Amino acid sequence: YKSINSQEGYQWLFNFSGLFSRLQTSAPKVKALSTSQSLHQVAGPVWNLGRLNHVAIAVPDLEKAKAFYENVLGAQVSEVVPVPEHGVSVVFVNLGNTKMELLHPLGNDSPIAGFLQRNKAGGMHHVCIEVFHFNVWCFQFLLQSVFYFLRPCIVTVIRNW
């Protein structure tokens, strides 16, 4: 995670299902557009997308995954960081122009624990795309009937990752 920087104009969401952005999400649950809605209506200026921030992968063994990216692939990785408010431990893998976030459950009530029960080998959990104007995105998702599993919330994140 990375902390909010108001000078950048970016804000973060966590576990927002649908389109992604420093919005993070599980698999999209988006209603199909009606035939009266054009793609232009959905992809208008409000959808001012920034860069891909990271792709999150749930892993059954965080230390083993960390060692693979660090020792086998030679990537720069963060230390294991517990994020108890979201029930996860994370490791960031720096890929230069973007990052990967390795997720592992922190406790039995973690949403990642359920994900790993259904996906024993792990797998992609969410992507994170930077956007401007958090509240505008939330409102536009509401207008477009985009559904999400967990209520969006702003989270703090690790600096320099």
pLDDT tens column, 90-110: 999 999 888 999 999 998 889
Q: Between the CA atoms of 107, 155, 56 and 58, what dihedral angle is there, to the nearest 10 degrees?
A: 10
The more confidently predicted of residues 45 and 112 is: 112
- Mean pLDDT for 147-158 is 58
Q: What pLDDT was estimated at residue 28?
A: 39
Contact 100, 58 (CB under 8 A): no
Q: What pLDDT was estimated at residue 3?
A: 35
Whether 67 has a pLDDT exceeding 80, the answer reads yes
pLDDT band at residue 153, thresholds of 50, 70 and 90? low
Which residues, at least 6 apart from 154, have a Cβ–Cβ distance to it below 8 Å? 4, 11, 12, 13, 14, 134
Contact 4, 10 (CB under 8 A): yes
pLDDT digits (tens, 9 = 90+) for 70-79: 999 999 999 9
Domain ranges for the chain? 29-147
- Mean pLDDT for 134-154 is 73
- Mean pLDDT for 149-161 is 54
Structurally, at CATH architecture level, domain 29-147 sits in Roll (3.10)
Q: What pLDDT was estimated at residue 50?
A: 78
Task: Please tell me the pTM assigned to this model.
Answer: 0.66
Q: Are strands 88-94 and 76-77 parallel, antiparallel or unpaired?
A: antiparallel
Q: What pLDDT was estimated at residue 26?
A: 41
pLDDT digits (tens, 9 = 90+) for 7-25: 333 333 433 333 333 344 3
Burial group, residue 38, by CB count within 10 angstroms (0-12, 13-18, 19+): exposed
Residue 134, both tokens: 């958090």
Please give the DSSP secondary-structure letter assigned to residue 46: G
The more confidently predicted of residues 92 and 152 is: 92
Query: What average pLDDT does the chain have?
Result: 72
